[in-house]
Amino acid sequence: MRIHFLGAADGVTGSRHLVETGDRRVLLDCGLFQGWKLHRERNWLMPPEFAQLDAVVLSHAHLDHSGWLPALVRNGYRGPIHASPATCELAAVLLMDSAHLQEEDARRANRYGYSKHAKALPLYTRADAARAIAQFRPLPPGRLLSLGASQVSLSPVGHLLGACAVLLATPDGRLLFSGDLGRQHDLLMPPPEPPPAADVVIVESTYGNRRHPDEDSAALLADIVGRTARRGGSVLLPAFAVGRAQALLLVLQRLKRAGAVARDLPIYLDSPMAEQATTLYRRHGELLHVPARELRSLCEGVRVVATAQQSVRLAGTRFPAIIISASGMATGGRVLNHLKVMAPDPRDAIVFAGFQVGGSRGARLLAGEREVKIHGEMVPVRAEVRHLEGFSGHADRDELLQWLGRLGTPPRQTFVVHGEPDAADSLRAAIGQQLGWQVQVPAHGAVVTP
* Stretch of 50-58, 143-151, 176-184, 311-319 lying at the interface with Zn ion (CB under 5 A): 176-184
62 near Zn ion, judged by CB under 5 A: yes
Q: Provide the minimum distance between the beta carbon of 160 and Zn ion in the complex, in angstroms, as a whole number.
A: 6
* Stretch of 39-47, 106-114, 125-133, 178-186 lying at the interface with Zn ion (CB under 5 A): 178-186
Give Dmax over CA atoms of the chain in angstroms: 65
Q: Which is nearer to Zn ion, 60 or 256 (CB)?
A: 60
Separation CA 408–CA 365 (nearest Å) = 42
Q: Which is nearer to Zn ion, 25 or 62 (CB)?
A: 62
Q: Which is nearer to Zn ion, 160 or 169 (CB)?
A: 160
* Stretch of 43-51, 71-79, 177-185, 328-336 lying at the interface with Zn ion (CB under 5 A): 177-185
Q: Which is nearer to Zn ion, 87 or 228 (CB)?
A: 87
Separation CA 391–CA 336 (nearest Å) = 22
Residue 317: exposure state from Cβ atoms within 10 A (0-12, 13-18, ≥19): exposed
204 near Zn ion, judged by CB under 5 A: no
Burial 156-191 (b: 16+ CB within 10 A, else e): bbbbbbbbbbbbbbbebebbbbbbbbbbeebbbbeb
Please enumerate in sequence order all residues whose Cβ is within 8 A of that of 392, keeping only pairs 6 or more positions apart, or say none. Answer: 183, 207, 212, 353, 354, 355
Q: Provide the minimum distance between the beta carbon of 60 and Zn ion in the complex, in angstroms, as a whole number.
A: 6
Q: Which is nearer to Zn ion, 242 or 381 (CB)?
A: 242
Separation CA 117–CA 239 (nearest Å) = 31
Q: Provide the minimum distance between the beta carbon of 241 and Zn ion in the complex, in angstroms, as a whole number.
A: 13
* DSSP-assigned states of every residue in 144-195: -EEETTEEEEEEE-SSSTT-EEEEEEETTEEEEE--S---SS-SSSPPPPPP
Q: Provide the minimum distance between the beta carbon of 446 and Zn ion in the complex, in angstroms, as a whole number.
A: 22
429 CB neighbour count, 10 Å cutoff: 15
Residues 292, 293, 296, 298, Cα dihedral to 10°: -110
Q: Provide the minimum distance between the beta carbon of 334 and Zn ion in the complex, in angstroms, as a whole number.
A: 21
Q: Provide the minimum distance between the beta carbon of 323 and Zn ion in the complex, in angstroms, as a whole number.
A: 23
Q: Which is nearer to Zn ion, 50 or 207 (CB)?
A: 207
What are the phi and psi torsion angles at 141 (to 5°)?
-55, 140
Are the beta carbons of 23 and 52 closer than 8 angstroms? no
End-to-end CA distance of the chain: 7
* Stretch of 10-18, 40-48, 59-67, 181-189 lying at the interface with Zn ion (CB under 5 A): 59-67
Among residue numbers 225 through 284, which ones bind Zn ion (CB under 5 A)? none
Q: Quick one: which of 20, 29, 180, 420 contacts Zn ion (CB under 5 A)?
A: 180
Q: Which is nearer to Zn ion, 70 or 162 (CB)?
A: 162
Q: Provide the minimum distance between the beta carbon of 279 and Zn ion in the complex, in angstroms, as a whole number.
A: 20
Q: Which is nearer to Zn ion, 268 or 281 (CB)?
A: 281
User: Which chain residues interact with Zn ion by CB under 5 A?
Assistant: 62, 180
